[in-house]
């Protein structure tokens, strides 16, 4: 199965494709991806956070991809993600929101290829 098709189809399902890990004899592919978890609106900006997941996909015909296993973050991963986002907001470390940008932001809300606002870590360079 072509990685470009996997990437495109997973994007439609709310995933960011990272890599194809292996291919099975039946043609299914083990994939590492980020599930874009919707954390709600932050200061009127809809936000998503990537959560790493493993999943298996298979060609369903007609250019479609079916997820046959995995792809769902655990309850603990979701709770940790929500807690982390709350911490970013509470500590004024999230840039890219309406209003003035925090000086010491460690993360920013940035649109991905699909136009979704995803929380990403800032790269910090020497001062």
Question: Is there a contact between 55 and 33 (Cβ–Cβ < 8 Å)?
Answer: yes
pLDDT in tens, 65-107: 889 999 999 999 999 999 999 999 999 999 988 888 888 899 9
107-111 and 94-95 beta bridge pairing: parallel
pLDDT at 123: 66
In a domain? residue 9: yes
In a domain? residue 27: yes
Q: In terms of pLDDT, which residue wins out, 63 or 26?
A: 26
pLDDT in tens, 20-57: 999 999 989 999 999 999 998 888 888 999 999 999 99
What residues are paired with 28 via a beta bridge? none
What is the rounded distance in angstroms from the CA atom of residue 96 to the CA atom of residue 102?
9
pTM comes to: 0.86
In a domain? residue 15: yes
**Closest to 21 in 3D by CA, of 69, 60, 80, 64:** 69
In a domain? residue 83: yes
In a domain? residue 104: yes
In a domain? residue 39: yes
In a domain? residue 126: no
In a domain? residue 127: no
For residues 77-105, one letter each, b for 16 or more C-beta atoms within 10 angstroms of the residue's C-beta and e for the rest, the string is ebeebeeebeebbeeeebbbbeeeebeeb
How many independent structural domains does the chain possess? 1
Tell me the residue range of the domain where 100 lies.
3-121
């Amino acid at each position: 199965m072509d990685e470009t098709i996997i990437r495109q189809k997973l994007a439609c399902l709310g995933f960011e494709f990272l890599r194809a890990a292996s291919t099975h004899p039946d043609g299914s592919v083990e994939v590492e991806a980020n599930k874009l978890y919707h954390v709600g609106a932050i200061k009127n900006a809809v936000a998503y956070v990537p959560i790493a997941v493993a999943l298996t996909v298979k060609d369903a015909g007609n250019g479609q991809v079916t997820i046959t296993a995995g792809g769902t973050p655990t309850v603990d991963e979701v709770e940790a993600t929500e807690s982390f986002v709350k911490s970013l907001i509470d500590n004024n470390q999230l840039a890219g929101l309406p209003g003035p940008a925090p000086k010491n932001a460690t993360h920013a809300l940035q649109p991905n290829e699909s136009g979704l606002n995803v929380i990403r870590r800032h790269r910090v360079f020497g001062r």
